[in-house]
Structure formats: C-alpha cells, structure tokens
Structure 1
Amino acid sequence: MNDKAATRKELFRTAKALGVDVPAKATKRELLAALGDGSADTHRDDARDSEETDAGGRVSARDDSDASHHADGRPRVASQMDAFRRLAAARSDGGVTPSPRVLTGNDRRIHVRQTIREDHQLRIARHNEEAFEKFDKLAGSRFSFFRGTALLFYRDMVGDDAWMPTVLAAGDVHPENFGVMPNADNVPIFGIDDYDEVFYAPFTWDLKRGATGFLIAADEIGGYGKSKRRKIARAFVRGYADQVRVYAADNTEEAADLRRDNAPKLIADLFDEATSGGRAAWLTKKCYNENKTGFKASKKLVPITSRRDEFQELIDRYVAESGITVPPRAGAMQVKDVAERRGQGTASLGLVRYYVMIEGPLTDASDDLLLELKQARRSALEGLVPSSEHVVDGNADRVVHGQRVQLVSGDTFYGSIKHRGISFLVRERSWFRDDIDLEDLSFGQWRDYARICGEVLAQAHALSDEAGLLDHDVEPDIVDAMGVTELFVDDIVRYAEEADKRCRRDHDAFRDDHELGAFRRIDLVYR
C-alpha cells in the first residue's frame, strides 16, 4: 500500500485519535509528516503499537478505560488491552469465563481482524511500507502468519494454567527461533535466539506455542501428514519433559550450553556450516561497499553515514551506562558506519532496526564487527498471563533480562539503550549467527531437532531460579505439575492440534480480509 491510498480526512481523523496535534487545515503532506512516513527518524517508542510507556518504565494503555472519546469529542483508538487484563484476572481466579478461542464464524473473523489491527496501530496509521509488506508475507504463508501474530495466539490463552509453576518464558517458541549465536567469549553456542516476547508465565505457555509451531512448520515446510506431524510435536514436548527431570535431579542447567564439542550431530553440523566462511568473507559478501569503508547500499541496507557522529555518541553512552567490558576485538568502539536494516524478521517488520559497524583493531577491514539496535515493544504475553509477582519493567530491559537469565554466558554486547524516545535492544550481529534449514531435514531429523529444542527450552526454564527472579528451585515443581509424563505430553499436543486447526481458519479469514483492504486502517471508537 502507498501513502496515496489514504484520504486527507482519514489521516486527519487518525492523527486526532492518536493524540497527534495537527492544525485543522493541515495538508495531506503535513498529516503524513506528523504521523510519520515510516522512516526510522519518525518512530516513537512502539509499545505493542497501541500502548505507551510511562515515566516509570511501566506500560500503560494509551486510551482511558472509562471513555470512548477524547474530552473534545475526538474518537479514540480502539483498544481491548484493559478488557483482556480483566479477563485474565477473572480466569486466573477460577472464574468460568470463556476465552476468544471459543468464537466461531464471523465473530472469530472480526476478533482476528481487530486484534491484528490493534497490534499494528501505529504502523498502519503511519502507512509504514514494511508493515504492509508484513501483511503480504503473513497472507502468503500460514507459518509466517503464526509467527507474526503472537498477540492473537496468546489472547486465546488468556488466564490459562494459573495453577502451573511460573518460569521466565521465552514467549515466542517455534522451530525458527533457535540457532547458533555468540557467547560472552565469542564462541558459538546453540539456543533460543529471540527473546522479544520474554515474560514470566506458566511454563506450559512456551510448550503450547512451541508444539503448535512445530505442527504448523512440519505441515507447511516439511509437507508431513497428521501422524508424522504429531510425532514431531510429541518429540518436542517429550524432550522438554525428560530434560527438566534431569535438572530436577542434578541441577546441571548452568553448565549445559550446547557447543560444538558437546552437541548432537545435527547441531554439530549446523555449527560447522555457520563457521565455515570466516568474518572477513562474510563482511565482504553481506556488508561492505566496494572500498570497504562502510556499508553498501541495497534493498536491505540503507547507509546513513551522515549520522555517524550521532551514533558514536550513542555507542559511547551505551558502553558507559551498560557497564559492559569491551573486548579487545572491538578496538576502541569506533563507529565506522551506520545503516538502517530493512525487511528483516516477521513479527518485527516495520519496526526500527540499525546496524552499527564498529572498527576492529586491524587496519585491513577484515575484523570489523556489527552491533544491531532493534526496537523493542511490549511483550504479547503482558496483561494475558495469570497474575504474578515477577515483573520486569521496560521493553528492551525486559528482553535483556530474559537473555541474561536464559543464556548464562551470552553475547557480551547484549543490552538496552533509549534513543530519540525509542527503547532499543543492542546485540552483536555475529558473522556465524545461523539457524537450521528446515527444508533440508528428513523426518527423523525433524524429530531429533524438535527433541533438542525441547531440551534447550527445559534448560532455559530451569535457569529461572538461578539468575532470574524466582526465589525457589522450580524444576521439582515443574516435574510435579507435569505428573504422568505421557498424559502431560498428550495434553500439550492435543492443545497444539486444536490451535493448529484454529490457525488454519484464522489464516483463511485473514487472507480474505487482507484482500479486501482490512489492514489499511485502524479501529476507532466513535461517539
């Protein structure tokens, strides 16, 4: 969709609903500028698009729960956040209250539409081109749809499993969110590589999303029938259950990182593939301009060299505020170049992302490193999980907390910083960062991979009481809560199978709505 698709009247109404101060006679160009044209410079801190962070770092709803319009009569942006918080509390307290997953037919289609619109309010209002590209991507693939609609998935789970042990949940578990990444010593390790949705929640929430993700991916990417897909999902849950019992018995989770020397063959092969080229070759192929003085210009990389001094100040501030120990391979943390990174990810399409090139100690442009600054948002789980005493304020700070808890010796550059009102996650974009190619796996390898991912998730949960906020040994509680292993595995897989069918229907409804232009506007509440 391009900017011309919206009328001046629609833009004016949207600006007023979002609380953007614009004159009554503003031109269409002025309205687009006020809303932001989708460029990185105009983004505000995007706390799940429909909420904003207050001065104390906590997230609060943009609109008041007791009014449908502003005091001057302007319509408000529609939000169900407060309603779902109340629903989560009621269900957690044992109230017999239905969740949105019982909706059918047109009611379900409207729910899907409203949830996705709400989850992307600011990006739609600003006519962010990457947001519309995201909707195209979601329409083209059911697995992409699943990946890019975490809020829809978790609203179906609102308040569920309140009696289950709380852990630091990764939040967005699926087959493509595991991979090879650097640890604090720049050594490759394999683990969960996306913590955007991390939140304290019942341990079953990660298992239900993970099992559903494996079912959908094994269908769309693997091409397997119901029986084989079920075996793959069972392998994931069984791998988790078996491994968490090991940690309950021997407390070895802090020393259980997967490295090249202790990884099963499937993951060892991934390590070999990820580290086969070398940093210099990777930089030349992916990043450098022809003179190796900075970033090349491409569809994915847009150099903004004129802002290098601005980002040097930002990196200097980041080092000072985060207290990281700069490794010798980063030299003096001198910013060599900066670029906007576009078109990356699925859920995060349309959010701000920068690559910052840091000059290495050598002068031959063979050892530069990249830092990624990625805009962080409110977790999709917030306001939906059962009430918990464990809360981490802020957006990027929450993500950093998750990484530091679940990866004991993770990326040394991992941290957060605020810049121009946006909460950024900072991490190294390592030359050997890689994930498994699901299309290349045999059925046996799919099962092996699913089991390994389940074991990795068990380690992540077991670490919730080490560096996390839990003050008790959580693994025995998880084992006790699982009860009979085969019954527990069956319960999770049956939930995932229902969620898989629901996702198929939701995707069909989304595609029909997308074709009709449903995601070119946001929902407003009128008088």
Structure 2
Amino acid sequence: MAKRASSKSADGSSGGSKSGSSKSSKAKDQPKVVAVHKSEGRVDAFRKLSQRIAEGDQVVPPAMLTGEARRNHVRSTLREDHQTRIEERSMGAEVKFDKLASSRFKFFRGTALLFYRDMVGIDSNMPSVMALGDVHPENFGIMPNSDGAPIFSVNDFDETIYAPFTWDLKRGGVGFWVAAHDVAGFSKKKRRKIIARFVKGYLDAMENYAQYATEKNDDYRMDNSPKVIRRLFKEAYEERREWLWGDYLKPNGRGFRADDELQPISSEAEKFQKAVNDLASAKGFEVPDRAGELKVKDVCVRHGQGTASLGLPRYYVLIEGPSKDATDDIIIEFKRARRSALEGLTPSTEFDAGSNAERIAHGQSVQLARGDIFYGAVEIEGTSFMSRERAPFRDDIDLDELSYGTWKEYAEVCGAVLAQAHALSDDLGQIDYDVEPSIVAAASPRPLFIRDIVGFVEEAADRLKEDHRMFCEDHELDAFKNIDMVYR
C-alpha cells in the first residue's frame, strides 16, 4: 500500500513544529496527505478513448507505446487488474504473478485486460456477437450439457460481452500462435498455417450456418466429433465414484478431504445451502434426479486453480446424490465474478449483457445451447459469484501431445466451435439482425480477411514478447506488491 508522504514548509524545510508550538497546533498546521486509487476513472477514460477511435479521431492508443512508456503502461494495467488481490495480500496474487512470469503463454492467458486495451475501439464496422472474450486453445474442452452428458465446446465465459466477432478471432489467433511456439516450438511458417486453419474452420462453419441454420443442433459429441476430439472424449472419461474419491473426498466419503488444494469449511454449509437454493430458484429448473434433493453435504475452498482468476475466491459445494452413499454426489463450483476485461474497450453498442455474474451466466446461456443447468449467478453475502458443475469428464486437450498435423486439425475444430457460439447470438442473445450472412459478408474476400487476421496476430505476439520481458524484470523488483496511488 502507499506510504504517507512527508510534508514540507514553503521554504522547503521539514514541516515539523516550531519552538513553543503545541501538538494540536502542529497537527492543525500540517497539511493532510490524501491517497486515492489511481485506477479510479480509468475504465471511463478508456471508454471515451474507444468512442473517439471508433469515430475516426487520430489518437495514440496503448499499442503504439514503446520503451519506458510501454513498460509503465504494462505495469499500471496489471496493478489495476489485480488491485483487490494485491490490497488483500492474497497468496493467490503472488502465485499468479510467479505463474505469469514462468511462460509467455501463461502471461497471455492471465493478462486479458492488457491485451484488449491494445484493441480499444477497433473494428467498429464489424458485426457484433455475444463474444467469448478469452479465446485460446485451452478454453475449449469437454463439459456436461443440460442432461449431464459430455459435449465439446467453449468452456470459459468469464470475459463474455457483446463485441465485434473479430475480437474473438484475434484473441484466439494470438493464443494459438503463442501456445504453438511455447508448447510445440513450431516455426513462424507452421504457426501461420495453424492460425489460417483456425480462421478457415470458423468461416466454413459460419457459411454453413448462414445456409442451413443448424447452429442450435450442432453439438460436438462422442459420436459425431472429428478424430482429434474423439480422443479427448475417451481420455476425459472417468467413473464418478473414482473421480470423487480420487480427487476430493475423505476416505469415509462424508465430505471434502483437507490438502494443499482443498480447505474444508464445513461450518459454512448453511450459507451455501442458501446459495444453492437461490441458484435453483433463479434458474427455474426442475431438479434433475442425479442431484437428489439439492442437499449441501460439505463445502471447501479451492486453492491454486485457474490462470486469469487465480487468487479470486473459489468454493466447491458437495451435493448429496440420490444413493446417499457418496458414489454419485455432484460438485457445484462458486467463483467470484469480476468485471469483463473488455468492458469500456469495445466500440459502442446497444447490446448489454449485464454485469459480473449475470453477464457471465447470460453469455453461457447464449453460447452453449443446452449447456450445464447449474451455470448461473448468485449473490453470497453481497458478493457476485458465478456457478457451474464440476464433472468427471470436464477436461481440455493436452497441447504437448499434439503433432503438427493434429495442431492444425484442432485449430480448425476450435474455429468451427467458436462459429457455433457466435451464430447463436441472434437466436438466444440480444442481436437483432441475421448474424451469419453479416459475418460472411464482412469476412470477404476470404484470403484478404485471413491475411489480415494473421498479420494482426504476428504483430500482437511480437508486442506480447516484449511486454512479458518487461513484466518479468519488474516482477523481480517487486513491482506488483503495491497498487498505483495518487498522492496529493
């Protein structure tokens, strides 16, 4: 936190009391130092910058900064993004900064606000969609649908917001580019082809939806998925009993075990029973048989999970299954929701997904048709939390096991899955025009559109490389143990 600044008198001498002055006189004469968070107002400032850029004003956005100016921008943006975690002296904040320093891909994943401030206001001419907001190779995976059966789709909605469709393609392209370098060590030529396949998969699927309108029925399941995804279904499958006992429960099955990741807080069961009841009431669903009577059996804090959300409160709630013998219990996760990294940065739009957990729940309900019924928003003691079901088959791909050929196949499938999520924006979201033909037209001619996406990706990845270098140097100097303050 900020240290109190020393005061000086008009002649520059120390502002201590003069001979014969009383303590009360000293306190009265000495000016007060007021410190306020520097981040206050920055969201509104960037919102105004977004509007100016969208209107064609000639301004200098952060992406054009170099040298020390860029270093200070990176530092202040990361401090602002982690303000609460730094102020609370969260152990998760320190762990997260260490994690960001460990690889460029982890740095990319955990600094979405920095990435999107470089995109402030651009692509205002492009069709809007319910954007995922944080597309990268590890934000696609296996998860339960509304019936508890496994499907492959987008799986992280923390940043979701209405934005130009190109923002997801550009974020996803950079994600594949950086991962293909860090994990696989591929050359630039091979990475360009991977990005092109990602965009091709997206455009092929979007053209198909524009013609046949099948986006609400095109779930990727075990029986209809490409080979690279079928393998993931097989690897993700695990018996629920083995999953529960192997990863979460005490030997007697009566609650969560205690270890370096799980911290039981059984005394909080009543509070989370209310949260579960509120969730069921808000969602208005009929409780599935597999959830028994929605009775909370135990609660724990989950430590050390995620990258972008590392250091934010996260709870696992154990729900007693119908057999009552801990072989079919289910786990609902509650994670503190935060403002989208894209808020105030996208070109002005009339579409509003809401704020915090309500926004996240809205995005999931649009992008993942017939998805997890426990995905929702609740308030716990005045704080906004999003919820979702943990499942034995919830898993994402092991990138280090992919060959160059399967990298391209996987990128193409992810592009197609993203297209399906976007295509639902006018079916289940707020978009009031036909999304699919609009995107197909905006992406024409296709070779030029793909070239432009690849060009953006290479430039952004080069900037990310330099940002990461400067971040690592600052992190070594303890730059992220304090937040920016204004003293006056």
1:206 aligns with 2:195: no
Superposed counterparts of 1:211-222, under 5 Å: 211-222=173-184
Q: 1:507: Cα distance to partner?
A: 0.1
SS in 1 for 2:450: helix
Task: Report which of the two structures shows the higher radius of gyration computed on alpha carbons.
Answer: 2
Superposed counterparts of 1:119-138, under 5 Å: 119-138=81-100
SS in 1 for 2:162: strand
1:447 aligns with 2:417: no
Deviations 1:342-389 (A, max 9, x none): 100000011110000000011321000000001111100010000000
Partners of 2:199 and 2:412 within 8 A in 1: yes
Q: Could you tell me which residue of structure 2 aligns to residue 158 of structure 1?
A: 120
* Equivalent residue for 1:293, pick from 230, 251, 254: 254
SS in 2 for 1:506: helix
Deviations 1:274-331 (A, max 9, x none): 11x2100000100011111100111111000111122222222222233122101100
Q: Partner letter of residue 223 of structure 1?
A: G
Q: Could you tell me which residue of structure 2 aligns to residue 19 of structure 1?
A: none
* Equivalent residue for 1:86, pick from 33, 38, 48: 48
Deviations 1:458-498 (A, max 9, x none): 11111100000011111111111111111101100110010
Partners of 1:372 and 1:428 within 8 A in 2: yes
Q: 1:449: Cα distance to partner?
A: 0.3
Q: 1:73: Cα distance to partner?
A: 5.4
* Equivalent residue for 1:76, pick from 7, 14, 36: 36
* Equivalent residue for 2:244, pick from 283, 307, 314: 283
Q: Partner letter of residue 294 of structure 1?
A: G
Q: 1:269: Cα distance to partner?
A: 1.0
Deviations 1:235-268 (A, max 9, x none): 1111111111111111111111101111001101
Deviations 1:393-428 (A, max 9, x none): 221110111111111100011111001121111110
Q: Partner letter of residue 277 of structure 2?
A: D
For residues 346 and 314 of structure 1, what CA distance do their matches in structure 2 show? Answer: 25
For residues 303 and 260 of structure 2, what CA distance do their matches in structure 1 show? Answer: 7
Deviations 1:140-174 (A, max 9, x none): 11100000000000000000000000111000000
Partners of 2:353 and 2:363 within 8 A in 1: no
Q: Could you tell me which residue of structure 2 aligns to residue 501 of structure 1?
A: 462
Partners of 2:78 and 2:111 within 8 A in 1: yes
SS in 1 for 2:143: strand
* Equivalent residue for 2:320, pick from 340, 346, 359: 359
Superposed counterparts of 1:22-101, under 5 Å: 74-79=34-39, 80-101=42-63
Q: Partner letter of residue 114 of structure 1?
A: S
Deviations 1:423-448 (A, max 9, x none): 11111011110111000000000000
Partners of 2:194 and 2:408 within 8 A in 1: yes
Partners of 2:296 and 2:317 within 8 A in 1: yes
* Equivalent residue for 1:411, pick from 372, 390, 393: 372
SS in 2 for 1:175: coil
For residues 310 and 408 of structure 1, what CA distance do their matches in structure 2 show? Answer: 30
TM-score by length of 1: 0.86
Deviations 1:112-164 (A, max 9, x none): 00000010111111111101100000011110000000000000000000000
Superposed counterparts of 1:103-142, under 5 Å: 103-142=65-104
Q: Partner letter of residue 210 of structure 2?
A: A
For residues 405 and 280 of structure 1, what CA distance do their matches in structure 2 show? Answer: 32
For residues 289 and 468 of structure 1, what CA distance do their matches in structure 2 show? Answer: 42
Superposed counterparts of 1:88-487, under 5 Å: 88-275=50-237, 277-487=238-448
Q: Could you tell me which residue of structure 2 aligns to residue 492 of structure 1?
A: 453
Partners of 1:324 and 1:413 within 8 A in 2: no
For residues 202 and 60 of structure 2, what CA distance do their matches in structure 1 show? Answer: 29
SS in 1 for 2:228: helix
Q: Which runs of 5+ in 2 are unaligned?
A: 6-30
Q: Could you tell me which residue of structure 1 aligns to residue 25 of structure 2?
A: none
For residues 383 and 248 of structure 2, what CA distance do their matches in structure 1 show? Answer: 25
For residues 200 and 274 of structure 2, what CA distance do their matches in structure 1 show? Answer: 49
More displaced, 507-516 or 361-370?
361-370
For residues 376 and 108 of structure 1, what CA distance do their matches in structure 2 show? Answer: 29
For residues 429 and 299 of structure 1, what CA distance do their matches in structure 2 show? Answer: 19
Deviations 1:67-102 (A, max 9, x none): xxxx98522101222221111010011112221111
For residues 432 and 105 of structure 1, what CA distance do their matches in structure 2 show? Answer: 46
For residues 355 and 177 of structure 2, what CA distance do their matches in structure 1 show? Answer: 33
For residues 282 and 425 of structure 1, what CA distance do their matches in structure 2 show? Answer: 23
Q: Could you tell me which residue of structure 2 aligns to residue 524 of structure 1?
A: 485
Partners of 1:341 and 1:355 within 8 A in 2: yes
TM-score by length of 2: 0.93
Deviations 1:485-520 (A, max 9, x none): 111011001100101100000000000000011001
For residues 274 and 46 of structure 2, what CA distance do their matches in structure 1 show? Answer: 41
The total of aligned residue pairs comes to 461
SS in 1 for 2:138: helix
Q: Which runs of 5+ in 1 are unaligned?
A: 1-5, 14-70
Q: 1:457: Cα distance to partner?
A: 0.5
SS in 2 for 1:76: strand
For residues 252 and 321 of structure 1, what CA distance do their matches in structure 2 show? Answer: 29
For residues 83 and 312 of structure 1, what CA distance do their matches in structure 2 show? Answer: 41
Partners of 1:175 and 1:214 within 8 A in 2: yes
